[in-house]
Amino acid sequence: MALLFSGIARRAGTMGTKANLRGGVLLGGSRAGEQVRRLNLHEYQSKNLMEKFNVRMQRGAEASTPEEARKVADGIKQASPDAELILKAQVHAGGRGKGHFKENGLKGGVQILNESSEVENLTQKMLGNTLVTKQTGDGGQPCNMVLVNEGLTIDSEKYFAILMDRAHNGPVMVGSSQGGMDIEEVAETNPDAIVSVAVDIVDGVQPEQTLLMAKALGFKDENIEDAQEQMANLYKLMIETDATQVEINPFAEAHYVNGESQVFCVDAKLGFDDNAAYRQKDIYSQRDTSMEDERDVKADEVGVQYIGLDGNIGCMVNGAGLAMATMDIIKLNGGEPANFCDLGGGVNEKQVADAFEIVNSDANVKALLINIFGGIVRCDTVATGIVNAYNSVGLKIPLVVRLEGTNADKAKEIIDAAAIPGLVSAVDLDDAAAKAVAAIN
C-alpha cells in the first residue's frame, strides 16, 4: 500500500548529501542535543557491514598505511585503467571534502585522483594528522585510516529508507524519486513525491512491496529487479543488525567506466538500537573512541548519560524528564546549561563522584546544579554521598543541591551542616536555578 508522506522522513533525520563521485557511507547521527547515545562507525566499517548483506557499494577498501592505499589503488587500476580514484579520510564528521588538515595545511579530506602514486602521496599527508571540518570544530579529529574507492558516474538519484516507525508499530519503507537532496525539503515543497510502504515485521518485506517502491521511485525497467533486490538486502541488514534506521541518499542508478547501469547505495546513514548492543557485539566492538569527546567515553564507562552543551551551568539529575525541566528552569532564570547529565534511578556515591569528575573536566562549567528526586533511594543517603564525593573529587566550583522526596528535610540538614564553601542547598527547583545563576554572576 502506498501512503503519502506523514512525517516519517522527518522523524528519521536526513542527510542532505549531494551525490557525486565522492559518495560514501556514514553511520550514526548527530550527537548534539540527543538523549540517546548512538553508535557511530567509520565509513569503511559501514561499507564492510553492508557488503556482508550483498548491498552494492562502490568498489574499494580501507588502508592504514600509504603502502596499503597504493595497493588498493593499483588493484582498482588493474581492473579498470581509466577509473578515477576516490581517497577519503576516515573521521566521524561530515564536510570532509571542504576540510583541511591542521598539521600540514592539506585542503580536502576527500580527493579525486587519477594515479596510484597520487593516492600514496596524499595518504601520507592524511594519516596521523588532524582533519578539521565545519562539524568537528577547531579541534578536528585524528585520521588513522583512509578509504580508497573507484569513482562512479551517477545517472539518476533516488531516496530510500527503512525506519522503525512508532505510528506503524514496525518498519516502514520510505522513498522518493527526488534523491541526492534534503528529503525534508522535498517533503515540504512536494509531499506527493514521498511514498511510504508499511512492512509487517512478522512476514517481512514482500516482492510486491519492493516492486511498488521501485516503480514509484522511477527506476528504469532494466534496473527495477536490481532495485528490488537491493531493497530486500537492506531490509535484511536492518532486521539482523537491530538497526532502527537505514537511510540511502542517493539510492542511485550508476555505472563504472565502460560498465553497465546498476543500482548502488552511494551514501547511507544507519542507526542502531543500543538496547540490542549485547546481541551485536561484533558491530559495537568497532566503536572508535578516539573520535569522541573524552567526557562521553567516560560517561559510558561509569554508566551515566552525558551530553555536553554550550553553557556554563552543569546539570546532574536522575531522570531524563527531570533533566529537561532543570535545563529549562536554568534558562528561565537567565543561565545556560552546560550539559545533560542523567545519573539514572539508582543514584549512589560512586556515580556522583564519577559524574563530578566528568563535569569538572569541562573548563566551561562555572557552577553545578544537582536536582535529585529521592524515591527508592533516600535523599539523606544521596546528600551524604554528595558531601563525600565533593570532598574526594576536590570540586572547586559552586554547587547547588536540590533534593526532593524521601527524607528531603534531613538531606537539607546534611548539606547545610557540611559547611563547605560553595556548597548550598535549595528549597525547590526555581530556588536552585536562581542560586546557580547567581553563583556565576
| Closest listed residue to residue 24, CA positions, set 57, 53, 73 | 57
Residues 18 and 181 sit within 8 Å (Cβ to Cβ):
yes
Residue 238: half-sphere exposure toward Cβ, Cα within 13 Å: 27
Burial label for 30, CB within 10 Å (0-12, 13-18, 19+), is exposed
How far, in Å, CA of 164 to CA of 231, rounded?
15
How far, in Å, CA of 232 to CA of 241, rounded?
14
| Closest listed residue to residue 326, CA positions, set 189, 428, 200, 173 | 428
How far, in Å, CA of 213 to CA of 224, rounded?
9
Helix, strand, coil percentages, rounded to 5, for the chain: 40, 25, 35
How far, in Å, CA of 167 to CA of 116, rounded?
50
Is 157 in the active site?
no
Burial label for 80, CB within 10 Å (0-12, 13-18, 19+), is middle
Residues 282 and 294 sit within 8 Å (Cβ to Cβ):
no
How far, in Å, CA of 390 to CA of 370, rounded?
12
| Peptide linkage before 250 cis (omega within 30 of 0) | yes
Is 159 in the active site?
yes
How far, in Å, CA of 198 to CA of 326, rounded?
38
DSSP conformation letters of 182-222: -HHHHHHH-GGGEEEEE--TTT---HHHHHHHHHHTT--HH
Catalytic residue among 120, 150, 157, 247, which? Answer: 247
Angle at 324 between CA 323 and CA 329, to 5 degrees: 100
CA distances from 308 to 33, 330, 335, 439 (A): 8, 15, 15, 20
CA distances from 71 to 57, 84, 123, 147 (A): 19, 15, 12, 12
**CA-based torsion, 208, 212, 215, 217: positive or negative:** negative
Catalytic residue among 44, 159, 235, 256, which? Answer: 159
How far, in Å, CA of 137 to CA of 91, rounded?
13
Active site residues: 159, 247
